[in-house]
């Protein structure tokens, strides 16, 4: 039986996509130190990310971009990215466990587990894959727009990010329905 864990990264930032991962692991998992990605340092996440990539049975990645987030809202965009991650798996799982309290509509039995990223190894692995993947996307975005500091805050509403937004205005990757991006646009009459 193939069990996939699903989690996302990037619901709260003002910029960039929401990224989800679906991961199928051996049972029992052959990966040490799996944990909720938020409880690991960036360097530790990178190490475990590489181990997961080497040892996982299958990994699927899904995203919803800033335009989709603005059109659908963050919850529905997150569910869309989760669905895309599940569909990206090369092996169809028999069952899916999703972190949180909402699940995407898929043709596979699926359940939600609150704090699943700290309880279920395949969800922990998905948490790490999603977070590192999104961080890398934001690092690449930083190379295009270094004045925003995406390499450091990853699009979250830090003071530096808010100041850059006021100074330079939003870029395509900013979520226009999120405050303070929305507030900036309304002040500028856009």
Residues 146-171 have pLDDT tens digits of 999 999 999 999 999 999 999 999 99
> Which one is predicted more confidently, 180 or 98?
98
| pLDDT above 70 (res 189) | no
Q: Are 62 and 85 in contact (CB under 8 A)?
A: yes
What is the rounded CA–CA span in Å between residue 111 and residue 107? Answer: 12
Please enumerate in sequence order all residues whose Cβ is within 8 A of that of 4, keeping only pairs 6 or more positions apart, or say none: 22, 23, 24, 58, 60, 86, 89, 93, 95, 96, 97, 122, 126
Nearest to 100 by CA among 84, 118, 112, 87: 112
If you average pLDDT over every residue of the chain, what do you get?
94
- Report whether pLDDT(183) > 90: no
Domain ranges of the chain: 3-143
Cα 39 from Cα 22, distance rounded (Å): 19
Cα–Cα separations (whole angstroms), residue 101 to 63, 98, 113: 19, 8, 6
Split at pLDDT 50, 70, 90, the class of 33 is confident
By the 10 Å C-beta count (0-12 exposed, 13-18 middle, 19+ buried), 168 is classed as: exposed
Confidence at residue 151, expressed as pLDDT on a 0 to 100 scale: 96
The rounded radius of gyration (Å) of the Cα atoms in the chain is 17
pLDDT digits (tens, 9 = 90+) for 108-148: 999 999 999 999 999 999 999 999 999 999 999 999 999 99
H or E element, residue 19: strand 18-24
Q: What is the pLDDT of residue 126?
A: 97
**Could you tell me the fold of the domain covering 3-143?**
Nucleotidyltransferase; domain 5 (3.30.420)
d(CA 26, CA 2): 9
pLDDT over threshold 80, residue 63: yes
Please list, in sequence order, all residues whose beta carbon lies within 8 angstroms of the beta carbon of residue 31, skipping any fewer than 6 positions away.
Answer: 25, 48, 51, 52, 55, 121, 125
Give the percent of the chain with pLDDT over 70. Answer: 99
Given this model, what pLDDT does residue 187 score? 80
Asked if the model's pLDDT at residue 105 lies above 70, the reply is yes
Report pTM: 0.95
Contact in structure between 34 and 21 (CB atoms under 8 Å) = no
The band of 38, judged by pLDDT with boundaries at 50, 70 and 90, is confident
% of the chain with per-residue pLDDT over 90 = 85
Cβ atoms of residues 77 and 68 within 8 Å: yes
Say what the pLDDT of residue 190 is.
Answer: 60
């Amino acid at each position: 039986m193939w069990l996939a864990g699903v989690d996302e990264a990037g619901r709260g930032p003002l910029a960039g996509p929401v990224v989800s991962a679906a991961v199928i692991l051996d049972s029992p998992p052959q990966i040490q130190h799996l944990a909720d990605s938020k409880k690991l340092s960036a360097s530790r996440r990178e190490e475990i990310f590489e181990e997961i990539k080497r040892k996982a049975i299958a990994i699927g990645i899904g995203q919803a971009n800033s335009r989709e987030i603005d059109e659908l809202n963050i919850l529905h965009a997150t569910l869309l990215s989760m669905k895309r991650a599940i569909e990206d798996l090369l092996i169809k799982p028999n069952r899916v466990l999703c972190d949180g309290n909402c699940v995407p509509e898929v043709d596979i039995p699926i359940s939600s587990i609150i704090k699943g990223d700290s309880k279920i190894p395949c969800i922990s692995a998905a948490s790490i894959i999603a977070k590192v993947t999104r961080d890398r996307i934001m690092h690449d975005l930083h190379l295009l727009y270094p004045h925003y500091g995406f390499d450091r805050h990853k699009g979250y509403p830090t003071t530096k990010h808010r100041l850059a937004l006021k100074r330079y205005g939003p870029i395509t990757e900013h979520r226009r329905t999120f405050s303070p991006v929305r507030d900036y646009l309304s002040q500028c009459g856009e």
